[in-house]
Structure 1
């Protein structure tokens, strides 16, 4: 992977001068992400998932994220909900098991 160094100019290509140490003007990282997604994946998350080898017939994205440690499974009573390791959302979800109100959805943060 290439080492990135802030250049003083917004990486999205807008031409804006930015603060030292930054790569983007505020909000321009999302704009650049949307542009890349539209150019390379037809502007759909589903296409981006499949293009990277995940999805139906490919690698299970959820399980891979857990394997890499970017998500963690709840693990209480065989619960399959996952979230960001150590996040408030996961702590809140796990606490809900103790109160008998755990949802079947995923922890969002």
Structure 2
């Protein structure tokens, strides 16, 4: 297994799509859901798979028209790690937001 050195916003977005999905997702669906380009999503999925966070398989033949699709899903360990990553990113984003953004007063409420 390969260790993930850096987990950026794009990786968090991809992990979020996989976490929220009930079934394995194909690459184009992940691309559309994240708004990220295929040139970053597919290499990211490969890294996640090498790290043991994601597993992939080919769609069964004959289930639909067109070429077979590669389906991606989080492993049990990958789902646990993805939840940790999302929680850490959310906490750091919330913390940073509190430090850098002034709080607007509520309408009709005057500070004392």
- TM category (shorter chain) comes to under 0.3
Choose between structure 1 and 2: higher helix proportion: 2
| TM-score, L = length of structure 2 | 0.26
Structure number with the higher strand fraction is 2
